[in-house]
Amino acid sequence: MIRTKEHAQKALKRTDDALAFYFHDESGFLNIKASSLEEAIEVIKNIDETSLIYHLRNNHFQRWVSDVFGDTTLSRRIDKISKIETEVREELLNLLEERLNWLKVKAGV
């Protein structure tokens, strides 16, 4: 849970490769990664929606934001998106961009 300025600053940082998010689809690795929430947003804008659905249904995004950035609130919100059938990309982008803006304010960036 993001409670302090320091937590928000941590959530905004880039991770190293070991903690980056690696995008897949049902057939395998897509050779695309994101090392921060900002990078994830940029990838999500263009990646095939089947990859998004694959990761959402398998709780990959949810675990990544919770485990790597400590943002359990965002994780729970993403989990709600995993249950919808349409406009997955738009819903996910709106949620991530809103949270990113909130984190920047909280972190004083």
Per-residue model confidence as pLDDT tens digits over 39-90: 999 999 999 888 998 999 999 999 999 999 999 999 999 998 877 777 899 9
The answer, yes or no, to whether residue 30 has pLDDT greater than 90, is no
What are the extents of the domains in the chain? 5-107
pLDDT score of 29: 78
Tell me the pLDDT of the chain averaged across its residues.
91
Spatial contact of 93 and 41, defined as CB atoms under 8 Å apart = yes
Q: Measured between alpha carbons, how far is residue 96 from residues 27, 69, 87, 101 in Å?
A: 26, 13, 14, 9
